[in-house]
Amino acid sequence: MSKGWLKAIAETPALRDRITIVGLNDINPDAAHRLAAEFGLSRAAVESDLDALLNGTRPDLLFDVVIPGARHDVVATALEHGCHVLSEKPMATSLADARALVALAAKAGKTHAVVQNRRYIAGARRIRGLIDSGALGELTALHADFFIGAHFGGFRDVMQNVLLLDMAIHTFDAARFMSGRDALAVYCLESNPRGSWYQHGAAANAIFELAGDATFTYRGSWAAEGANTSWESQWRIIGTRGTLLWDGLDGFAAHVVAGDEGFHRPLADLAVPEPADAGQTRGHASVIADFLRAIETGTPPETVGSDNINSLAMVFAAIESARTRQRVTIAA
């Protein structure tokens, strides 16, 4: 996954001119050396020991692209060395670890944010703008379908709660971002369908209660062959005046009520305007740019840990609900 980050930096002049990669850390140094060669980072130090690398290079920033189980120790070490940290998702493997990292970042006076790159795409920004405009009326519900037959191999195949913990965080965070609302409670059913090549939890169905008397439903599977959705899910977003459909790619259809008579009220097409700021639609590059802006201005980035923990709390509440078969309230 580090290749996606390094590619975003290399291909974005505004980032390339402001960021110098001074070191690469991997428990397998050969992998780090191969990465350095691929991206022309001949001057970057390579170390298997993070403390040694940070002591030797004294960086301003650390990009944390490790597997979730290693995240807490890597971020904590970086903060102790005075680094700002931008982490892969999920922010932590438990809410306790996430809260600890929020506290450590505050104590260190450093910024710790999470790469929720899927909110930095044109579709998510267009929907947020349309909801904020009030054109759909008052928001009442968001519904997301995510069905992909994904054959990764590696650590995901043996993860517990693989869909909820490793992927659904993107959709949950998108629901929070697009609606502008936090989740209050959830009921979730998790399963591992027949034929799944994952060890645990490749599918889930969840109903979230959102602030402001709205609902968010999620239906997902990473072991569903035959009709893949977009990685961004397929969405139906309902307001008191109309409905927006988004296929997760470039397909939008929005209609609002245009009369007050008839069994089915007459409808009018509703345009979904382009994002006001195209600079916020470039995935990883936009996340990194927002992170740099936050450091330089002293203002929190959009995905700062103290806010993104609310998306992570949705994940762990869904996991707890699936385990207990009970409605679970959500508190970060």
pLDDT digits (tens, 9 = 90+) for 221-250: 999 999 999 999 999 999 999 999 999 999
Q: Is the pLDDT of residue 332 over 80?
A: no
pLDDT of 277? 83
CB neighbours of 277 closer than 8 A, spacing ≥ 6? 125
pLDDT band for 148, please (50, 70, 90 cuts).
very high
- What is the length of the chain? 332
Which of 292, 328, 331, 322 lies closest to 19 in space, CA to CA?
A: 292
Q: Is the pLDDT of residue 130 over 90?
A: yes
User: Does residue 202 contact residue 222 with C-beta atoms inside 8 Å?
Assistant: yes
- What DSSP string runs through 53-112? HHHHH--SEEEE-S-GGGHHHHHHHHHHTT-EEEEPSSS-SSHHHHHHHHHHHHHHT--E
pLDDT of 282? 87
The Cα–Cα gap between 171 and 174 comes to 5
The neighbour count for residue 154, using CB atoms within 10 Å, is 8
CB neighbours of 157 closer than 8 A, spacing ≥ 6? 197, 198, 199
Q: Reduce the DSSP state of residue 257 to 3 states and report it.
A: strand
The neighbour count for residue 188, using CB atoms within 10 Å, is 26
- What DSSP string runs through 112-139? EEE--GGGSBHHHHHHHHHHHHTTT-SE
pLDDT digits (tens, 9 = 90+) for 274-288: 988 888 888 899 999
Q: Omega into 90 within 30° of 0, i.e. cis?
A: yes
pLDDT of 6? 94
Domains belonging to the chain, first-starting first, are 2-117+285-304 (3.40.50.720), 118-277+310-329 (3.30.360.10)
pLDDT digits (tens, 9 = 90+) for 169-178: 999 999 999 9
pLDDT digits (tens, 9 = 90+) for 77-109: 999 999 999 999 989 999 999 999 999 999 999
For the chain, give the mean pLDDT: 95
User: Does residue 186 contact residue 321 with C-beta atoms inside 8 Å?
Assistant: yes
Average pLDDT over residues 177-181: 97
Which ranges constitute the DSSP H helices of the chain? 2-10, 13-16, 29-38, 50-57, 71-80, 95-108, 122-133, 162, 168-179, 284-297, 305-324
The Cα–Cα gap between 231 and 117 comes to 12
pLDDT of 151? 97
Average pLDDT over residues 151-168: 93
pLDDT of 1? 86
Task: Look at the block and give the residue holding tokens 């909801």.
Answer: 131
The Cα–Cα gap between 68 and 174 comes to 20
In one letter, which amino acid is 216?
F
* Helices and strands (H and E) in the chain: how many: 11, 14
pLDDT of 306? 96
- pTM metric for this prediction: 0.91
CA of residue 80 relative to chain centroid, distance: 25
